[in-house]
Amino acid sequence: MTARRKPAIIETGSLSYGMLPGLLGFHLRRAQVSLFKHFARTVGQVAGITPGLFGMLQVIAANPGLAQSRLAEAMEVERSTIVKVVDQLEARGLIVREPSAVDRRSHCLELTELGRAELARMEQLVLAHEAELAAKLTPEDRQELTRLLIQLAD
Amino acid sequence: MTARRKPAIIETGSLSYGMLPGLLGFHLRRAQVSLFKHFARTVGQVAGITPGLFGMLQVIAANPGLAQSRLAEAMEVERSTIVKVVDQLEARGLIVREPSAVDRRSHCLELTELGRAELARMEQLVLAHEAELAAKLTPEDRQELTRLLIQLAD
DNA sequence: TATTGTTATACTCTATAACTATA
DNA sequence: TATAGTTATAGAGTATAACAATA
């Protein structure tokens, strides 16, 4: 690093955010909060689901017979954290825990018929939500944003 | 139940994320988690601060005499949520609540000398953290990413 | 010994509602 | 009536540690 640069400052009303507008994390968080609020309005209120739960359902649906520990690894959370999530989804009748045929410690997660139907409905809502978001960008910019986010996440 | 068989054995690593990779929110969240972990390692562990607390300090530093309610508005959280944050920062000797000269209901937030020194140290760590992140992108791509995130957040 | 699912516990972040002291 | 700060409380979301059953 060379000389200290003066941080960028933006004004919102009479209020300054200091050096925050010069940080990627600041804009990442703002975009995320905005997107989550939009998701809550357009998908959450209609289908009673959060981005996190929808993600879990997607991974379960895309990997039939997935063990809870594998799901935890995929979502990058602890095994113990998954338990209550699976409890919730099972209580709503969307998934079932099936005993594994090869390992009696394991529970294989599967979507129920209701789960498949509800997920299909959720997917339509999510696609509509995504389309509304994407409308803020050109198709090229949306592609570019995805590429840059993947690059940043490693 | 007996008729349903697993279509494929799921091995570690060969896991599908379904439609998630087609969603901006998925990539936004992954980038955010990656960035927060990097922040925790490079800034948090050294200076004992989180992105949220650092943001609060930045806004307080950039707006001397800010009332708690204005800070709450700036951070887009409830007044009641701010109380414990201010308690924490005050307990660490980084800020003080000063009685307002014009409104006896109001507390004006100010950095202490220690707060100014600590914040300057944090800022150096944050800039180093930012530089490491930015190294994953070309300077043009970093600029472009910021632009696209602002556009997405409205 | 190691792993799977589970429980108990705790900590963070956030919100709502009610209270007090002012305005 | 409305606002500023506070308190009490609750609900997600997450983590750690310990446990029984099984590998």
What residue has token string 């409890």? A87
Q: Would residue A76 count as lying in a domain?
A: yes
Enclosing domain of residue B69: 49-153
Q: Does residue B22 lie within any of the structural domains? A: no
- Considering only CA atoms, which residue is closest to the C1' of nucleotide D3? B105
Residue B147: inside a domain: yes
Residue pLDDT, tens place only, B22-32 = 999 999 999 99
Q: Is residue B24 part of a domain?
A: no
Alpha-carbon distance values, A6 to A130, B36, B53 (Å): 37, 24, 22
- Does the nearest atom of strand D lie within 7 Å of A91's Cβ? no
Does residue A14 have a pLDDT over 90?
no
State the total domains in chain A.
1
Contact A51 B29 (CB under 8 A): yes
Nearest CA-CA distance, residue B39 and chain A, Å: 9
Query: B58, B59, B123, B150: best mutation site toward chain A, by most A Cβ within 10 Å?
Result: B58
What are the chain A neighbours of B55 within 8 Å (beta carbons)? 20, 26
In a domain, A25, yes or no: no
What's the pLDDT tens digit per position in B30-76? 999 999 999 999 999 999 999 999 999 999 999 999 999 999 999 99
Decide if A90 is inside a domain: yes
- For A150, half-sphere exposure in the C-beta direction (CA atoms, 13 angstrom radius) is 11
pLDDT range class, residue A154, cuts 50, 70, 90: confident
Q: What does the pLDDT look like over A98-143, one tens digit per residue? A: 999 999 999 999 999 999 999 999 999 999 999 999 999 999 999 9
A27 part of a folded domain? no
Q: A13 pLDDT exceeds 80?
A: no
User: pTM for this one?
Assistant: 0.90
Average confidence (pLDDT) over A81-87: 98
The count of other CB atoms within 10 Å of the CB of residue B146 is 19
Q: Who among B7, B24, B31 is closest to A35 (CB)?
A: B24
Whether A120 is in a domain gets the answer yes
Query: Does residue A12 register a pLDDT over 70?
Result: no
Which of B23, B75, B77 to mutate to test binding with chain A, by most A CBs within 10 Å of its CB? B23
Tell me the average pLDDT of chain B: 92
DSSP sequence for B85-110:
HHHHHHHTTSEEEEE-SS-TT-EEEE
The overall average pLDDT reported for chain A is 92
Calculate the angstrom distance between C1' of C12 and CA of A110: 32
> What percentage of chain B reaches a pLDDT higher than 70?
92
Residue of A114, A142, A115, A106 lying closest to A54 (CA atoms): A115
Nearest-neighbour CA in chain A from B92: distance (Å): 21
Mean pLDDT of B131-145: 97
For the domain that residue A59 is a member of, what is the CATH number?
1.10.10.10
Provide the percentage of residues in chain A whose pLDDT is more than 90: 90
Q: Give, in Å, how far the C1' of D10 lies from the CA of A85.
A: 19
Residues with Cβ within 8 Å of A118's Cβ and at least 6 positions away in sequence, in order, are A47, A94
CA A126 to chain CA mean position, Å: 11
